[in-house]
Amino acid sequence: MPNSTNTSFNTLSVDSLSGAAKTYLTKEGLDELNGMTSTSIEGVRLFRHPHGSKKQPLLYQSGIIIMLQGTKCLYVNDHEIEYKKGDYIVFGVPLPAQCAATPDEDDCILGLVIDVPPSLLTELSHWQEDKSSCSSASMFTVSQQSMNQNLFEVTLRLIETLGNSHKANALGAGFVREIIYNIVNGPAGHILVGLTENGHYARIANALKIIHNNYSTKLNVDSLAQQVNMSVSGFHRAFRDVVLDSPVQYIKKFRLSKARELISSGYRVVDAAEAVGYKSLSQFSREFKRYYQFTPVKDRHITT
């Protein structure tokens, strides 16, 4: 399991975060939002879902998620990670996983998503106060933690700024910087700082970038290992440590996730399959159904 802490955070304090987020959504005419919306601050998004959802496959992007209402449960093979109101979760690399969500006692599921620009991460990594925490940490690319007072305060300032374009333009990037700084120097810091170093974790992250940029082509695991200067056996072992999956399974799940995005945007099933690298439509349909528990044709009807 990844490092985590479940120290309780004042519920009333967290409610002030969700209250500020709802005020912003209402001002933008998005108080009935069902999904994700961008904001005027680059790399900052809000999500809202009026109801819970059963366990289903998703592709998580790298970055930070701060839960403002409700609870989500992440499943990666035999690992189960719960993150609830007042928690944050950090993803070092994109990760195919399964997720279930429930609003609990709240009226909806609500959260904040913050991207971590590589250049900013490289800079802030130099200011990590406890470098030793990275050397002994797990390589698994996910860490769930509870917010502390510093992180709460800057997150509140960020959300309150969203409704004022002048303040957002003048101060937003600084608040994002402070949030990332706090997380770099918190118990999940190794998830981000490790990406800037030259260890196995960073090398696997580089291999994942190659996969993400070339998933529609034929990918050879031995070649991936060679490109990141690792032995094949060491690459397989480290890859599983980082994402809890083999390279072949990760590539398959990533391709299926991308295909579903294309189908949702209006692609024909055969075109989506070809676009993500499948040569056989029957194989694509079989693997899609095994992963999502419904056929790509049915998914196209649902999403259109």
Residue 78: predicted pLDDT: 85
Number of domains within the chain: 2
Residue 4 lies in a domain: no
Residue 1 lies in a domain: no
Statement to judge: residues 186 and 256 lie in one domain: no
Residue 45 lies in a domain: yes
Residue 5 lies in a domain: no
Final residue in a domain of this structure, among 150, 170, 195: 195
Final residue in a domain of this structure, among 195, 210, 238: 195
Average pLDDT over residues 252-276: 95
Residue 153 lies in a domain: yes
Domain containing residue 240? 200-303
Instruction: Tell me the CATH number at 57.
Output: 2.60.120
| pTM for this model (two decimals) | 0.91
Statement to judge: residues 266 and 135 lie in one domain: no
pLDDT digits (tens, 9 = 90+) for 64-110: 999 999 999 999 988 999 999 999 999 999 999 999 999 999 999 99
198 pLDDT band (50/70/90 cuts)? confident
Mean pLDDT of the chain: 92
pLDDT digits (tens, 9 = 90+) for 148-160: 999 999 999 999 9
Task: Quote the CA–CA distance of 201 and 197 in Å, as a whole number.
Answer: 8
Which residues 6+ apart lie within 8 Å of 293 measured at CB? none
Complete DSSP assignment for 256-297: HHHHHHHHHTT--HHHHHHHTT-S-HHHHHHHHHHHHSS-HH
Residue 129: predicted pLDDT: 82
Final residue in a domain of this structure, among 195, 218, 242: 195
Statement to judge: residues 34 and 180 lie in one domain: yes
Statement to judge: residues 121 and 63 lie in one domain: yes
Statement to judge: residues 29 and 170 lie in one domain: yes
Residue 157 lies in a domain: yes
Statement to judge: residues 177 and 67 lie in one domain: yes
Statement to judge: residues 35 and 155 lie in one domain: yes
pLDDT digits (tens, 9 = 90+) for 246-262: 999 999 999 999 999 99
